[in-house]
Structure 1
């Protein structure tokens, strides 16, 4: 597709003439909106490169994105349709392949199979009592704050926002100490990109152990409820649905981190509940934690939004670009939730309500415990994680007035607490949390 002669000057790192626009690298991570603005001159869709050698068509316009997400007859989710992958044109060691390759989960299913798997997820998640979710989130928040509150400084992304959702899900899944430690290790390694293959093996292996445990000893938890669902999932299907939910903890961590960033860098917000709620909405509109995903594949050669597509072409939706579509200018109202941060159509996020509640509780509790917390570095020095899919900060350094730890020993001095934290580093983080809860 050729750019129009009146095309704007591309941002740094973006090809000036022809070719595909790269959605990776430090330039894209630093200023993705400049890339999205440039992509719009192609029309509602644009040719992009997700990683070296991995091509896709990106939908950047709001109404076109809705059309794609809601047209399950023309566009399917089954990644086994991916033409360039099937033709051997995709590097198998590409960092984006794990997120796009087929698994037997609802994300990659269509039709009746998708309905069966999704119903198991939605019905299971609906059984989570909001009061229990609030209690668990606050307990995890208290535990994490206890690990750094005495220091007076912390990276809120690495030590809070990205850890909290994984801990909450571990609790809701009913993970015992040893399995929970390995789930934390596996999911953290996969998200950090360090030894990702080994980390994925550990994560899927530990979830498989959890499923085997719950088959013999079911409990009042998400894993057991899913296995008891009328959909009668196989063990493999159960592992993949639970792993899909665990993968959502990365997006949730990005939401918490980006909302904290917004609260700490925008003078318009104060640390009251109503404005935290507004900050979450603004983050979902302007800086969605999942920027580009929703892979779809045309069933047959077709035309879409003026673009000729071949059967099996990889298409993605840019939630970030669609939310900034010019057609929405002047229409967005305060409190509006018509954004696409949760996607739309039959594959819209099934857990948006618990996700929002978790973020709200985590942020409120943090500000209640550390009311004078503030950014410790210039805003311009912050950097964002690279890659085409997620949108999240690498770190968010902050400072605050140190607070006395509430646990593990109520009367402990700061020195005592530091020694206990140092000694506990020999055990897994989930084991530490379970021990902390029992104090």
Structure 2
């Protein structure tokens, strides 16, 4: 059935919301306070937590009555074209995102332990090689769409390699994820099928021969994931990196190239790439509204009654920017943000995510030091949707560079496919990417 329990619900979809979500949040805050009724798709309603303190209460499970299991909520929704995309994002899966208690701790430990095996300096080297190979594709042209040509390609190529697959497999992964994220109907189904095939082939290859890579570490972890749990963990890691990281990179770049505090020539800006990333995480988090939660009992929460099996979403974008009346320079929280969540479900790989985004952006700006938008930032187009804050395009121009000109260039680095073994698994990678596993000693 279609849920209809919330009068006066605001819409988190359509061009008006995509154009200015902060105006929608401000109106909801004025009418409803810290928790507001919203519609995330036609006929699909939710409670949106837009107050900072209320968001922390949910994320840290204050009161102990919040659950991540979406099964009861999902059972109430019909599978229609309107709800299909929502169920894909919020439907129950046996992984760390949709589990509680000991089950969640088990899944999360696998992810946290295995990501700790990646040495930061080697991850930086890998991202440098991937970034330079992408920049080399458009550096001679003097113009690019940094969403399609750069930001959306970085996470897929990097994680394809971290999963233990050759770089040549990344193009198929990029196409599958792009079809899944951007299209419905036949194209979306084709993308979903291709992604499922990629995950299946990845698991099959690692069952045949382990390597020093994330997939093998997941498989060999003492938690002993079942095959379906392994597949869902790989799906979660991919979903949590592909679109969010692409959005973080493009949102940060768009701020840097349109704000002289970050650069006027990219070499003398007052603020750093890290500053720009932190501001993007606060003001335009890649996942604007997510963190799905459900109550285990009827709850009167910050002025709103919430019933079991009702969807609660945390608006990181609204909570991060809630007016305080305190000047930024005097705020004791330092402009705190919830871009990676909080509490036991906080992203377990936030440090690698920041490292990947920073490295990619710094490689871009070091090679192309006079980047500028071809349209004003307030005229950039944003992808519609209730969950993300994602640029549709990021058109820039710059002074072209040539492969034969003096100085460092993106062509000076070897492509990832030559610096990383092309075989699906390789013992040589143990010295490159990992230390001994904590569970092997």
Work out whether the TM-score is over 0.5: yes
Please tell me whether residue 253 in structure 1 is matched to residue 246 in structure 2.
yes
The aligned residue for residue 290 of structure 1 is 287
Q: Note if contact 2:160-2:169 (Cα within 8 Å) is conserved in structure 1.
A: no
- 1:21 & 1:144 partners in 2: Cα distance? 40
CA distance in 2, matches of 1:308, 1:93: 26
Confirm or deny that 1:217 pairs with 2:209: yes
In structure 2, do the counterparts of structure 1 residues 124 and 316 end up closer, same or farther at CA, with 3 Å as the change threshold? same
**Which digits, 9 at most, give the CA deviation of each residue in 1:327-365, with x for residues without a partner?**
374366599462111111111111110111111111111
Partner residue in 2 for 1:48: 38
Deviations 1:106-155 (Å, cap 9, x if unpaired)? 10111110000010000011111101110110001011011111111100
Counterpart for residue 363 of structure 2: 365
Q: Match for residue 439 of structure 2?
A: none
Match of 1:30 in 2: 19
Q: Show CA shifts across 1:152-171 (max 9, x none).
A: 11001111011111111111
Name 2:222's counterpart in structure 1: 230
What is the SS of the residue equivalent to 1:398? Answer: strand
Give the equivalent residue in structure 2 for 1:342.
Answer: 340
1:434 and 2:417 matched? yes
2:335 and 2:239 map into 1 onto residues whose CA distance is 23
Q: Is the 8 Å Cα contact of residues 285 and 339 (structure 1) preserved in structure 2?
A: yes
- Map 1:26-425 → 2, pairs under 5 A: 26-41=15-30, 42-71=32-61, 73-82=64-73, 85-89=74-78, 91=80, 93-94=82-83, 95-176=85-166, 179-193=169-183, 195-248=187-240, 249-270=242-263, 271-272=266-267, 275-327=272-324, 329-330=326-327, 336=334, 338-405=336-403
Alpha-carbon distance change, 275 to 334 in structure 1, aligned in 2, over 3 angstroms: farther
Other structure's SS at 2:292 match: strand
| TM-score between both structures, scaled by the size of structure 1 | 0.85
Distance 1:203-1:81 versus aligned 2 partners, 3 A rule: same
Match of 1:12? none
Greater Cα offset, 222-231 or 171-180:
171-180
Q: 1:62·1:325 contact (CA, 8 Å) conserved in 2?
A: yes
Verify the 8 A CA contact 1:81 1:297 in the aligned structure 2.
no
- C-alpha deviation, 1:261, in angstroms: 0.2
Deviation, 1:205, is 2.0
> Runs of at least 4 residues of structure 1 off by over 6 A?
435-439
Say which SS state the counterpart of residue 257 (structure 2) adopts: helix
Report how far residue 185 of structure 1 moved. Answer: 2.1
Contact 2:156 2:170 in 1 (8 A): no
Instruction: Please report the TM-score for the alignment, with normalisation by the length of structure 2.
Output: 0.85
- 5+ residue gaps, structure 1, are 1-16, 415-431
Question: In the alignment, which residue of structure 2 is the partner of 1:426?
Answer: none
C-alpha displacement at 1:192, in angstroms? 2.1
Q: Is the 8 A contact 1:281 1:335 kept in 2?
A: no
Counterpart of 2:428? none
Q: Tell me the SS of whatever aligns to 2:272.
A: helix
Structure 2 CA distance for partners of 1:144 and 1:178, relative to 1, 3 Å = closer
Give the Cα–Cα distance (whole angstroms) in 1 for the partners of residues 152 and 132 of structure 2: 15
Kept in 2, the 8 Å contact 1:141–1:365? The answer is yes
**C-alpha distance in 1, partners of 2:399/2:172?**
34
Work out which structure has the larger RCO, using CA pairs closer than 8 Å and 6 or more positions apart in sequence. 2
Structure 2: unaligned runs, 5 residues or longer: 1-5, 423-441
Total equivalences in the alignment: 400
**Tell me, what secondary structure is at the counterpart of 2:114?**
helix
| Structural RMSD (CA) | 2.6
Taking the aligned partners of 1:201 and 1:93, their CA distance within structure 2 comes to 20
